[in-house]
Structure 1
Amino acid sequence: MIDHMRRTLALFFCLFAFGVRFAQGAPAETANLQPIHIKLTEEEARVAGVETQPVEQESSLGELVVPGVVAVPPQQLRIVAAPAAGLIETLLVAPDEDVKAGDPIATLKSSELVEAQRAFLHALADANLATEKLRRDEQLFKERIISERRLIVTRAEATQARSALEERRQILALAGMTEEEIATLQRDRKFASALNVRAPISGVILQRHGTTGERVQASAPLVTIARLDPIWVNLQVPLGRAAALESVDRVHLPIAGIDGDLIRIGRTVDLATQSVTAVAEFRPGRSPLRPGQAVQALLRVRGGSGSQWRVPADAVVSHQNHNWVFVRAPEGFVATPVTLVSETPQFASVQGQFKPGDRVATRGLLTLLAELAETEK
């Protein structure tokens, strides 16, 4: 008993040297590993607090529970900015409000808008004058009163005037004026002192950045709009479980009762959490999923061709970067390498050398790990 206590205490000092940790993400490669026999009497196992539970054979579909955060797909997110410098006269929307594409979301008073309209009308007058001059010169050329060279110059001037007018039209469109508003300006020659900023897409107002009465510069953000269907969940998967992502069949969100698809698996590892980010896409419908919400996701994992067993999650430990379980044997235990297929807080699905009736240790694992380290020495 004293020897076992010494070994257990020694284990705490050599955990990092042996790379031993409970199952938090060890690689699943076990092809070159062999079971290791550990001698332990019934009395020694009882004193060490070792407890066992039976293994159960199961189908080739396992589960993996991971945390995640709801996020808006970047292609469905728009930040509406002020098209020109000016004063925010009114903000017409509130956070969490639904809007449709083209709905007004703010009105902006801008001297830049007035100047852009003045330049447009000036370009319109020049274009009209150039068009009239071209019409007259074409008639004079037909009557052989002017030379062809003068007609070519007049045509070039008319083309340049039309280009300048189109440029000013595009500037007004970039400033937020609609085609109808530009046509009204062209017809009535009356300036609009305020500009309606409109929603570029249909969606939900996530955030208001400006306030009524605030002076803003051009390109200053006013509101953020997002389309929330479909929606993404960024999953944080421990590095050791990342191999199972290739076999994920479906992703289930218990909080919303919906299923989705895994659409992306990250290729980098978070330095702080040692986890891989995977992205699942869902069609939420009326489900209460909100951007920034923390959720738990259930990954349905297809097993391999070998037999698959369910064991208590506490039975799986990591030693020397491999997953192991301790199987009860007549003279002690057998440290058996396993391939971890999936895991929930209660159970783990593994592949390994088991047979019906086998029992695995779920308590007293520190003692068994110490014995395993001694055996390997």
Structure 2
Amino acid sequence: MTATPARRGRTLSVALSIALVAAQVSATLVAAARAATPAPPDTRRDQEGIAIRLDEREVRSAGIATTSIERERGEVELSLPGTVAIPPQQLRVVAAPAGGLVEAMLVAADETVTAGQSIARLRSPDLVEAQRQYLAALADEALATDRLRRTRLLWEGRVTPERELRIAETEASHAKSRLDERSQILGLMEMSEADIEALRNSRRIVSAVTIHAPMAGTVVSRNANPGQRVEAAAPVFTIARLEPLWVNIQVPAARLPAVDVGDAVVLPAYGVQGRIIRIGRTVDQNTQSAVAVAEISSGGGLVRPGLAVAATIRIGQNGTPQWSVPASAVVRHRDRSWVFVREENGFRARPVQVIAEAGGRASVRANLAETDRVADRGILALLAELAAVDQD
């Protein structure tokens, strides 16, 4: 039977639909296969850095030039600003032992004092009241002791019960405790044992107390003046020992990895030296630097607290090869320092640790070879290539 034109059209339409579906399925399978196949590794990045492929024509057109590097085998000097400070453990605040009127200041600021030296005199109603209470406690203790003596005699003669003896013993103990307490209060008010003994014997109350230096040192601040009223425990003097001193050195965050505790520090202008004893764990958000503390000698008084100085940190070798390269050869990318080492097919960007910069040269630590040459001109073109490759 011969097919009609309408039937032939329907048959052709069905065949085309089947072919289209088959093509779509095939394309889907191919795409899935490609997705399942891992991408080839990026051979431009490895443990030694990132390869930047340029031929000779591209190198010349970009104006890129290279230079040799020099191995450093000694110490590197890093010069940074610092401020001289007094170690906090060498500071002592002298407070008023009692509230009252400053009668005399016996030493001036920046004056050297010895331990126990008289440095101020204070007239104090509080001291008068404390002595009065001491004398009252002394009288109470004498009465309680005498009563205990008489009660013990009566108890031994079986005239009074034991309970009375125990009461007398308790009262005598409490009276002695109160007397000891009042004696300690007078001691806290700068009265010596000899002064307290004189008060006990003479019953004569004094209204003035002398303040003594608790240690030898230098008066670095004076916080009161004659005629001024002060409260108890108010600061009157600050005394400090000025040997040794500290230098708070501002180390940029990028240089922190190169600085270690124990590194030698020199103040060239004063001829004194010391060592790093502590490196700050936080970075100032405004200056992007941390404080490295160096302990130094005062140089016989040449170095003084508050002085702004230029401190030189001597950084030794740490096992990683150290090189001197032109400062223009070092670039910053993603918070790291890099140099571009010449290779057969272009350059390789290698991360380095910058230790110091001076006189147009930079000291860096990196696993380089003495035969390596680094780019020192046309750096912007290489930096652009590095940024394009290092997208991750």
> TM-score by structure 2 length?
0.78
- The equivalent residue for 1:298 is 312
Aligned-pair CA distance for 1:265:
2.1
Alpha-carbon separation, structure 2, partners of 1:313 and 1:32 = 21
Pick the aligned partner of 2:140 from 126, 129, 138.
126
> TM-score by structure 1 length?
0.81
Higher RCO (C-alpha under 8 Å, 6+ residues apart): 1
| Cα offsets for 1:145-189 (capped at 9, x unmatched) | 322211111111111111101111111111222222222212221
Alpha-carbon separation, structure 2, partners of 1:188 and 1:325 = 86
Do the aligned partners of 1:38 and 1:372 also contact (CA within 8 Å) in 2?
Answer: no
| Equivalent pairs, count | 343
| Cα offsets for 1:55-83 (capped at 9, x unmatched) | 22111633333322222122211221212
Cα distance change of structure 1 residues 247 and 91 upon mapping to structure 2, 3 Å threshold: closer
Partner of 1:264, secondary structure, is strand
- The equivalent residue for 2:50 is 34
- The equivalent residue for 1:4 is none
How does 1:1-377 map onto structure 2 within 5 Å? 33-36=49-52, 41-42=59-60, 44-45=62-63, 54-59=68-73, 61-246=75-260, 248-327=262-341, 335-340=349-354, 342-346=355-359, 347-356=361-370, 358=372, 360-361=374-375, 365-366=379-380, 368-370=382-384, 372-373=386-387
Identity percentage over the alignment? 48
Amino acid at match of 2:217: G
Do the aligned partners of 2:52 and 2:385 also contact (CA within 8 Å) in 1?
Answer: no
Do the aligned partners of 1:34 and 1:337 also contact (CA within 8 Å) in 2?
Answer: no
Cα distance change of structure 1 residues 359 and 95 upon mapping to structure 2, 3 Å threshold: farther
Alpha-carbon separation, structure 2, partners of 1:252 and 1:41 = 44
Alpha-carbon separation, structure 1, partners of 2:47 and 2:89 = 43
Amino acid at match of 1:338: V
Cα distance change of structure 1 residues 336 and 193 upon mapping to structure 2, 3 Å threshold: same
Amino acid at match of 1:119: Q
- The equivalent residue for 1:11 is none
Cα distance change of structure 1 residues 314 and 158 upon mapping to structure 2, 3 Å threshold: farther
Alpha-carbon separation, structure 2, partners of 1:250 and 1:327 = 32
Runs of 5+ consecutive residues of structure 2 not aligned to the other structure: 1-45
Do the aligned partners of 1:134 and 1:155 also contact (CA within 8 Å) in 2?
Answer: yes
Cα distance change of structure 1 residues 116 and 323 upon mapping to structure 2, 3 Å threshold: same
Partner of 2:49, secondary structure, is coil
Alpha-carbon separation, structure 2, partners of 1:364 and 1:95 = 60
| Cα offsets for 1:69-99 (capped at 9, x unmatched) | 2221222112212122111111111111111
Alpha-carbon separation, structure 2, partners of 1:219 and 1:372 = 65
Cα distance change of structure 1 residues 247 and 370 upon mapping to structure 2, 3 Å threshold: farther
| Structure with the greater alpha carbon radius of gyration | 2
Cα distance change of structure 1 residues 35 and 143 upon mapping to structure 2, 3 Å threshold: farther
Runs of 5+ consecutive residues of structure 1 not aligned to the other structure: 1-29
Aligned-pair CA distance for 1:332:
7.3
Aligned-pair CA distance for 1:213:
0.9
